[in-house]
Amino acid sequence: MIDRRPSPEDIQSGTAKDRTCPSISTTFAQALARRPTLAVSFFLVILIPIIGLLLNPFNFQNRYRLSLFSQHQDPISIQKPPEMPAQNVTKTATVIFCHGLGDTSAGWSFLAQQFGAQMPWVKWIFPDAPIQPVTINMGMKMPSWFDIVDLTPTAKEDEKGLLASVETIRSLIQKEVDAGRPTDRIIVGGFSQGATISILTGLMSPTLLAGVACLSGFLPLKDKIKQLEGPHASQLKVFWGHGTDDPVVKYDWGSQSVNFLRGDLGLSHVDFKSYQGLVHSASPQELADLLTWLNDCIPNQP
């Protein structure tokens, strides 16, 4: 179970479909039975990569650049988008964007290039999650902001890991503040696990951030968030995008999280957008909506 980020082909075509491998046909199975040598060769080809994965699963994931926690997905390689021409523009705002489970900072770095022409005044930061065991993935080590036992709203939560990652993002915010960036010009966002860390960071912030962007995430620690939230939490601006066909972080889970933000925490600036047919990924329309929202929250300053 690994998070799936959108490939450039997905972004261009607007598709984000699961890919599955066909099963061995009866004819081929019969051929293996008739030719023992072929059968041995076939099973060696299958077993050797599996043994390698068990011996060093993270290297396998890193080599194929796996991303985002969805089931039955083929490894996806992210091709580097075309370089944007260098622009001599002073950076007056910062976006910190956090990747999903099993991904790396490189997985979403295309946002800086894709949005760069429209928002050249924005500095982009893409942090990396620590590599640690993940229970839902049979304890395999991979980049993860916190441990996941199960993907349901009632599952046991890794409070220690969640709060540790919030502190990691807070330290990045503080570095920007120390360099002269006011917090009302800083946005934190992410996809899936990264979205979950981002909304928690925004709600707990002692000062009001410019906003939080959540793509296919969920709100954690609902039972404790009222004790953890900062003094300006109700004023926080939030962009929340979620696919209706998300098989991983279910659409209803995202919708319930938004209702909690609005109802229980009193947030009045939550922009919740649904994307029909979208699975656990991002679509061109969602990214276009995100760009519009970013321009509203951190517009250019002369």
> What values do phi and psi take at 274, rounded to 5?
-100, 145
The active-site residue out of 7, 99, 144, 280 is 280
In this structure, are residues 204 and 229 in contact, taking their beta carbons and an 8 Å threshold? yes
DSSP-derived letter for residue 130 is P
Radius of gyration of the chain (CA): 21
In this structure, are residues 100 and 73 in contact, taking their beta carbons and an 8 Å threshold? no
Could you confirm whether 246 is annotated as catalytic?
A: yes
End-to-end CA distance of the chain: 46
User: What tokens were used for 105?
Assistant: 């900072």
Q: Distances in Å between the alpha carbon of 301 and those of 35, 108, 120, 234?
A: 72, 26, 11, 26
The active-site residue out of 246, 257, 281, 283 is 246
Pure H helices in 56-158: 57-64, 110-114
Count of positions (residues) in the chain: 302
The kind and range of the H/E element at 195 are: helix 193-204
CA–CA separation, 217 and 240 (whole Å) = 8
Could you confirm whether 128 is annotated as catalytic?
A: no
Q: What angle do CA 177, 181, 184 make, to 5 degrees?
A: 100
Could you confirm whether 147 is annotated as catalytic?
A: no
CA–CA separation, 210 and 295 (whole Å) = 11
The active-site residue out of 144, 192, 198, 216 is 192
In this structure, are residues 277 and 15 in contact, taking their beta carbons and an 8 Å threshold? no
For helices 36-55 and 26-34, angle between their N-to-C axes, nearest 10 degrees:
110
Catalytic residue ranges: 192, 246, 280
